[in-house]
Structure 1
Amino acid sequence: MTAVEFDHQIASLHDTLELFTRRFTKNQEESEDLIQDTVLKALTYRDKFRQNTNLKGWLYTIMRNTYINNYRKAQRNKTTHDDTKELYYLNVADDYTFNLPDGNFEYNDIMSCVNEVKEDLLVPFKMHMEGYKYHEIAEHLEIPIGTVKNRIFHARKEIQSKLVAYTGS
């Protein structure tokens, strides 16, 4: 099959592909995007298509795999779709603040409990909370990595025991 024949057959299957996208999405734009991605991949990987193979089935497989990969990517990114006119929700300013009086009180209470922890437990705990890795803390403090993990664990337990009021018990 020549490249022109291949392109013509793919173009003739556009309506069939559009119907098949309805299995995945009801949104017209997403449907068109999926068709475009499918056709692009089919044209890009034309050399992978074997003669005497069902072209429609091959395109369906590409479309299904493309949809699944896009879905998984969206799940990993936790993206949201704003279907409102003019993307209203994406352009709304975020007026939520974390500086609420009770939140500030809780933060101060938690920090006072953290600062009451023994110094040998507090330093590795604070470094870990600042984003340092266990091995970086161990190198900085010149102690074994197991000791670092142990001290962080015991600091957490001590802080948790002091914060019983917040557990609801």
Structure 2
Amino acid sequence: MPETEPDAGVSDDLKARFNEEAMPLLDQLYGGALRMTRNPQDAEDLVQETYLKAYKNFGSFTPGTNLKAWLYRIMTNTYINSYRKKQRRPLETSADEVTDNQLYTSSSHDSTGLESAEVEALKSMPNSRISEALNALSEDYRMVVYYADVEGMAYKEIAEVMEIPIGTVMSRLHRGRKQLRGMLKDVAKERGIGLDHADMADAAGKQDAKEK
């Protein structure tokens, strides 16, 4: 757990709110950090630095807005500025350890009110195979797919976290899901899972309509 030592610039009320509201999101942030870094030690370091920054700047967070997105934005910026160039060898752990018990089974999809057809189909597949395929995606596609299909974030939230246009989010998500389907196609065929169903190609379009 990140150390949040008493800080003269943080009031007792803010400290209490931070512990009550931000700390329960720690495991989710670690899952995202692991997707970014693909290395457990780097992920732990990234989460710790993220929480320290968030703690010191918690007074700037607007109550009632999306705290998880705010934390993810801090973590994304920290990763870009501090970890991308110096990260360790990727994925020095087993696929089972990489999962954070959210892989395509997360209840957080309710935040968009829509689960993609891919998510429904992928629920029938082994987490280890999904994890391997997700980690094989390029960083930009991997994180958009993670935020959308694991964390259940809406396009607007992802755009804010990654500081990219909504159109770019939609494009990366479409391409990332397509690549993911391609990598999992053989496994899906073995298990009788229809990843080539027409609903798959239409999933992004359904979410587009939901967000309008």
Q: TM-score range by the shorter chain?
A: 0.3 to 0.5
Which structure's relative contact order is higher, taking Cα pairs within 8 Å and 6+ residues apart?
2
Q: Under a length normalisation based on structure 2, what TM-score does the superposition of the two structures give? A: 0.33
Q: Under a length normalisation based on structure 1, what TM-score does the superposition of the two structures give? A: 0.41
